[in-house]
Amino acid sequence: MSAQKTERLMNLLIMLLVQKRYVTKERIRDILYADSSDEAFEKMFERDKEELRSLGVPIEVGTTDPLFDDDQGYRISPTEFALPDISLTADEASVVALATKVWEHARLAEATSEAVRKLTAAGAELDVAALDLVQPRLSADEPSFDLFLEAAQERTPVVFDYQRGTNPVETRHLQPWGVVRSSGRWYVVGYDTDRRYDRVFRLSRVRGEVRRDGPPGSFEIPEGTDVRAVARRLTPERTVLRAVLLVRPGTCHPLRRGAISTESGATGPDGESWDRITITRATVDLASEVLSYGPDAYVVEPAELRDAVIERLDGVLA
């Protein structure tokens, strides 16, 4: 699915979800499909509705005026759209948590804000609280994340400046295959046309803007490519750190995944019953990973990790 279509579907989902009344087709077109001809709008709107329904989104059809039955509109009932309580294992929850990182930072967050802005400007009565149903809590915080992800989806070559440590900045040309997360960092994996070999680049080392270096569909990803396996193969081994943490029950599932041990009934910083877990992680910014869970995670040891977390919190307060 293209990024443009994904954004359009997300806009339609949000528009029908946040309004308290049925929305007419004319209002939907004015706000979301204003640049389309009559024929193009009818086709896209019907396809988009069916696409959302195929994903399990319950789009309702009803009248917008009780005096005129033929004045139809559309909406999504938050109570019908909401999922029931779901019980996930630590492994399942960590996969879901990782997947949500794509949503909040990538252009879907901008799409959400834009859709709400347009609806508010049009005088629509909104139930913005309904957005909690489609709003993940984690983000991908690298500025280049969006373009690398889109380029991989569209098979568009890119060019960018890259710097490792104190080495000089180099210009690299890449056919991106995918974006993956490893040891708390985001990486783009692909074929380096300068070195003529598979390469992995850490997004935090990209300098400046990523530029497209050709039209979409310029290359093919080798059949059977597992970008995560490629990233593991090409990423150098890191020093592993052992850490003991207190985590609030029912939270911090990615931290729990692969924990060496988990003990219930430990006394948390608030005096309540927490879980005590022992984990091993690569030393790549474990403090940031712990901080991402806010008040649900507390470092017991090692002291240097606890000090790093405290130092960053003090910096925020300052």
- The candidate with the shortest Cα–Cα distance to 137, out of 176, 162, 175, 101, is 101
Give 300's pLDDT tier (boundaries 50, 70, 90): very high
Determine if residue 165 is left, alpha or beta; phi over 0 gives left, psi from -120 to 50 gives alpha, anything else beta.
Answer: left
pLDDT over 90, % of the chain: 25
Confidence at residue 266, expressed as pLDDT on a 0 to 100 scale: 93
Q: Please give the structure tokens belonging to residue 118.
A: 């347009």
Please give the pLDDT value at position 145: 86
Give the model's pLDDT for residue 171. Answer: 96
CA dist 63 and 10 (Å) reads: 23
Predicted local distance difference test score (pLDDT) of residue 173: 96
> What pLDDT is stored for residue 56 in this prediction?
73
Higher pLDDT, 38 or 240: 38
- Give the range among 84-88, 142-146, 148-152 with minimum mean pLDDT: 84-88
pLDDT at 138 over 70: no
pLDDT bracket for residue 136 (50, 70, 90): very low
Which CA distances in Å does 72 have to 29, 66, 80, 161? 14, 10, 20, 53
Q: Report domain extents, the chain.
A: 3-89+104-133, 145-234, 240-317
Rounded Cα gap, residues 112 and 263, in angstroms: 40
Model confidence over 57-86: pLDDT tens digits?
Answer: 888 888 766 555 556 788 887 766 654 555
Asked if residue 286 has pLDDT above 90, the reply is no
Give the whole-number percent of the chain exceeding pLDDT 70: 73
pTM to 2 decimal places: 0.45
Average pLDDT over residues 171-178: 95
State pLDDT tens for residues 192-238.
999 999 999 999 899 999 999 999 999 999 888 888 888 888 876 66
**Confidence band, pLDDT 50/70/90 cuts, at residue 282:** low
| Alpha-carbon span 259 to 38, nearest angstrom | 57
Q: Answer yes or no: is pLDDT of 135 > 60.
A: no
Look up the CATH number of domain 145-234. Answer: 2.30.30
**Per-residue pLDDT at 133 exceeds 70:** no
> In angstroms, what CA-CA distances link 267 with 23, 104, 171, 300?
51, 33, 52, 12
The highest-confidence range among 10-19, 114-123, 137-146, 217-226, by mean pLDDT, is: 217-226
What pLDDT was estimated at residue 299? 94
Query: What integer best gives the mean pLDDT of the chain?
Result: 78
Residue 317 exposed, middle or buried by CB count within 10 Å (0-12, 13-18, 19+): exposed
Q: For CA atoms 88, 89, 92, 96, give the dihedral sign.
A: positive
190, pLDDT greater than 70: yes
Please answer whether residues 17 and 133 qualify as being in contact, where contact means their C-beta atoms are separated by less than 8 angstroms. Answer: yes
More confident residue, 111 or 244: 244
